[in-house]
Amino acid sequence: MKHMKQIHIGIIGLGTVGTGVARLLVENSDVISARLGAELVFKKGADLDIARDRGMNFAPGVLTTDPYEVINDPEIDIVLEMIGGIDLARQFICRCIETGKHVVTANKALLASHGNQLFRLAAEKGVALAYEASVGGCMPIIKTIRESLVGNRIQAVTGILNGTCNYILTRITREGMSFEQALDLAKAEGYAEADPSLDVDGFDTAHKLAVLSAIAFGMEINYDDIHIEGISEITPMDIEFAAQCGYAIKLLAITKFDGQSVEARVHPTMIPLEDMLSNVSGTMNAVTVSGDAVGDMILYGHGAGMMPTASAVISDVVDIARSIVAGGAMRVPVLSFRMEQIRKMAVKPMDEIFTHYYFRFSAMDQPGVLAKIAGILGDHDISIKSVRQTERKLNGAVPVYILTHQACEAQVKKALAKIAELEVIPQPPVLIRMEAPEEEKAQQQS
């Protein structure tokens, strides 16, 4: 490493991911330098607690409780924001950009809420704001869309982007647990927070989807218009019936662009068992990207965790360092498209979405009930694909399962409201959307 150029790194936040990044910078310094042609030097790290044992030794003076010692250090080239949250992280990143420092972050919530402003500021100052670790953990989904698929018109991105939700649904599927039981197990295993709402209510997935939609379609980040539903209402009964019909239930992030309008939605979804996403289990993540040239391709990997996320952070650091070594500007636009090409796009209202549906009705065991349900669905242009009525009773009512052909969300809502008013339907209907059954894909391609 004699005469090798040094690039100095500062880290704000030495929690789980920040510590993992520091470990990689030290433990894998030789292979990183061999690939980069320069030495990455961890110069300073800021954290509120600098006394805690992090499983590694730091040189004297490296740790500080003052983040501005990192931000204002003239020798530091790249600052890693690893504290999470919104306000302080935004303040620190803006200050770094203003002082001409490149920034790497894994903060999807911040990008979903303030990414448009931060990316514009970085472009104006001629510095990089990199964020690979914000979506999909170690999966290089950002780099794949921005660089590897740059020659494609991206048509859709569909993914399992939250390991906590996927773990819970896996346990319900395999053991027949209730949602509450599976959530308790996830907490005990360390996969769910004490307050799991950000994960199980779908918000974390939506933050990531907002970022993916922007880089896929050249649009400004639009988190506010994403339709979001969580998994707390999913039951073993619905998962069992889905499996009998050849489907699995996953919390999916779905974004599509038809050249005119954008769909962006997060909700539990039934997907065919032959779809690779249906076999993604435990805390793993996976994303399918559909492009006009490549067709469908899938990325799979750990969506969270110390070292997988640290790996994605280091990939951003090395990308920036390569530009520094080459003496040039950042060659890849931050949102894939040139900043002047980024457009404000509205997300299609959920009522205008057309997809397939699964319904479960709790019906009184009386003649003519099914005919009444079918009649209301027909009145709202909802065509039934299959129907099943089981003999087992739930609270005195018989479950009736219906799968539909494509229908309009607005009409579905109206129909279910009418059905719920029937005296023979004592409980609210259950709705789960279904994504792209194979026969519809074939029709779209023909």
The residues that are catalytic are 208
Is 115 annotated to bind a ligand? Reply is no
Is 19 annotated to bind a ligand? Reply is yes
Question: Count of H helices and E strands in the chain?
Answer: 15, 17
Is 212 annotated to bind a ligand? Reply is no
Burial, 34: exposed, middle or buried (Cβ in 10 Å; 0-12, 13-18, 19+)?
exposed
Is 355 annotated to bind a ligand? Reply is no
Q: Are strands 354-363 and 398-404 parallel, antiparallel or unpaired?
A: antiparallel
Burial, 340: exposed, middle or buried (Cβ in 10 Å; 0-12, 13-18, 19+)?
exposed
Is 14 annotated to bind a ligand? Reply is yes
Distance (Å, whole) CA 116 – CA 119? 5
Is 18 annotated to bind a ligand? Reply is yes
Is 108 annotated to bind a ligand? Reply is yes
User: Strands, DSSP E only, in 312-371?
Assistant: 354-363
Q: Which ranges of 271-305 does DSSP label H, i.e. alpha helix?
A: none
Is 101 annotated to bind a ligand? Reply is no
Is 17 annotated to bind a ligand? Reply is yes
Is 13 annotated to bind a ligand? Reply is yes
| Helical packing angle, 108-125 and 87-98, nearest 10° | 20
**Contacts by 306-309, CB closer than 8 A, 24 or more apart:** 306/16, 306/17, 306/19, 306/20, 307/20, 307/23, 307/24, 308/137, 308/138, 309/17, 309/20, 309/106, 309/133, 309/137, 309/138
Name the binding residues for NADPH: 108
Annotated binding site: 12-19, 108, 193
**Annotated binding-site ranges for L-homoserine:** 193
